[in-house]
């Protein structure tokens, strides 16, 4: 018996087939572009997702696909797809890095149960209501990305608490806030009914079966947001378990048995199972490093890593990585990045090294907010590590030093995709909550923090420079 996990990410779609023991048997990935037709916009046509799903499925072995009995879904959080009654997208999907709704956040005055960012579904839909009323007049559903994909494959129209609570239109539990939805001029009927992430939500239709090379009629699980799926796939199930994911953005997740208290700059969301998690969400990890790599003219990542980590760390050069604003802990969408302290003696190697350090310090700012504002279970001296942007051993060591925490690489390279597949297995009844601890992947210690006083001084300078320059943004 096999289970297929589909992870609909910001820049790529990933598929993994997992067996009944929770082991990955096959994996495929296809990338696509995020388009920016105007400054601050971030969109992807849903056709790009559909084509990527087709192409990725074709790369999976037919003998593995033949044994798939259920599908689970993971998806990039916060964005929105508006569709008509036939599930046809009325415009390109709007994504979490989008900042066009920055001036429309007044409907969410502080304090909020969760921090509100312009790329969340609530502000984006408010922007559409003001700027594209013709589209909204045709709208039947406002769906999160993974929910659109599941529905296109034959699934029921629904969403789960982990995605709903990240729209800025629902309580942390995921229950829609009817009063807020009405207050900002949106229609309650646009929003899908809630169901548990692990619930069955329809079956694969004939078109989806042909596209994926699977049997029609197999079960579809509701699915969850990618962070919740990554936590599940990485084996987080006990109170205080923590995970660092690095991709386009970065997330630090700490599992909690009870609902965490509201804290400015931090998120408290429902997990894919019936737990909660506290999260610091940093917007600039891979996004910032990829931009720097291009600006400095590195044609590939190996050369960028080699240059950066062969160069001595600069005592005077600091990089603020906030090229697309920032969420945790600053909640400052107007924040901007750049090098400070640049001198004639600096090279692109020292600039690349400073970029890695700046991203590590930005992650540390989010982790420190969790440590400061959570209970004893969130001391966080060990982090499980997931995400394609954290493979190089030198980068891992820098992260461990900057975060002052042990890093344990999860022996599962595609945690969110695996978590999605597990939701499919639970929906089918093949697994239950009591099985999660047994199914947890092993993890290997890959880096421990050293006593680097110079790095600590550079971290202090980083925080000071951000705070000094925040008023300029």
Mean pLDDT of 205-214: 97
Q: Is the pLDDT at 23 greater than 60, yes or no? A: yes
Residue 328 pLDDT exceeds 70: yes
What is the rounded average pLDDT for all residues in the chain? Answer: 92
What is the rounded distance in angstroms from the CA atom of residue 380 to the CA atom of residue 369?
11
Does the pLDDT of residue 354 top 60, yes or no?
yes
Query: What pLDDT score does 209 carry?
Result: 97
Does 124 score more than 90 pLDDT?
yes
State percent of the chain over pLDDT 90.
72
What domains sit in the chain, N to C, each tagged with a CATH number? 2-226 (3.30.420.40), 235-411+442-473 (3.30.420.40)
- Please tell me the predicted confidence (pLDDT) of residue 112: 79
d(CA 209, CA 207): 5
pLDDT score at 389: 60
Residue with tokens 């990338």: 31
Q: What is the pLDDT of residues 148-186, one digit of tens each?
A: 999 999 999 999 999 999 999 999 889 999 999 999 999
**Mean of the pLDDT values across residues 245-265?**
85
310-325 confidence digits (pLDDT tens): 988 888 999 999 998 8
- Residue 43 scores a pLDDT above 80: yes
How crowded is residue 452: how many other Cβ atoms within 10 Å of its Cβ?
Answer: 16
Return the pLDDT at 375. 63
């Amino acid at each position: 018996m096999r289970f297929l996990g589909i992870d609909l990410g910001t820049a790529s779609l990933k598929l993994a087939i997992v067996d009944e023991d929770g082991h990955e048997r096959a994996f495929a990935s296809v990338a696509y572009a995020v388009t920016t037709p105007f400054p601050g916009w971030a969109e992807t046509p849903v056709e790009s997702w559909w084509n990527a799903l087709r192409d990725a499925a074709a790369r999976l072995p037919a003998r593995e696909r033949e044994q798939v009995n259920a599908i689970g879904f993971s998806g990039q959080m916060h964005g929105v797809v508006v569709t008509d009654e036939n599930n046809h997208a009325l415009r390109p999907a709007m994504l979490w890095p989008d900042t066009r709704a920055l001036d429309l956040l007044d409907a969410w005055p502080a304090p909020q149960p969760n921090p509100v960012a312009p790329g969340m579904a609530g502000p984006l839909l408010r922007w559409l209501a003001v700027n594209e009323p013709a589209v909204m007049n045709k709208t039947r559903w406002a769906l999160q990305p993974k929910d659109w994909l599941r529905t296109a494959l034959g699934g029921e129209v629904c969403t789960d608490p982990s995605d709903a609570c990240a729209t800025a239109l629902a309580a942390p539990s995921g229950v829609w806030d009817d009063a807020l939805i009405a207050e900002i001029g949106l229609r309650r009927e646009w929003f899908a009914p809630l169901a548990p992430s692990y619930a069955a939500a329809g079956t694969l239709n004939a078109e989806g079966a042909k596209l994926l090379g699977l049997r029609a009629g197999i079960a579809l699980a509701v699915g969850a947001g990618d962070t919740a799926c990554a936590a599940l796939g990485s084996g987080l199930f006990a109170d205080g378990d923590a995970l660092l994911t690095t991709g386009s953005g970065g997330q630090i997740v700490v599992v909690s048995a009870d609902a965490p208290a509201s804290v400015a700059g931090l998120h408290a969301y429902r997990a894919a199972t019936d737990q909660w998690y506290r999260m610091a969400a940093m917007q600039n990890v891979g996004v910032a490093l990829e931009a720097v790599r291009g600006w400095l003219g590195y044609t590939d990542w190996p050369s960028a890593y080699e240059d950066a980590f062969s160069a001595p760390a600069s005592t005077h050069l600091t990089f603020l990585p906030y090229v697309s604003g920032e969420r945790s802990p600053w909640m400052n969408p107007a924040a901007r990045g750049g090098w400070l302290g640049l001198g004639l003696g600096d090279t692109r190697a020292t600039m690349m090294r400073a970029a890695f350090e700046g991203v590590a310090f930005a992650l540390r700012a989010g982790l420190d907010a969790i440590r400061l504002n959570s209970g004893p279970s969130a001391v966080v001296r060990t982090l499980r590590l997931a995400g394609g942007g954290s493979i190089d051993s030198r980068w891992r060591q820098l992260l461990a030093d900057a975060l002052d925490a042990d890093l344990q690489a999860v022996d599962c390279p595609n945690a969110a995709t695996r978590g999605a597949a597990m939701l499919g297995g639970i929906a089918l009844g093949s697994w239950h909550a009591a099985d999660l601890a047994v199914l947890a992947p092993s993890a290997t210690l890959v880096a421990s923090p050293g006593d680097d006083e110079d790095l600590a001084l550079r971290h202090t300078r980083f925080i000071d420079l951000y705070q000094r320059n925040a008023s300029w943004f």
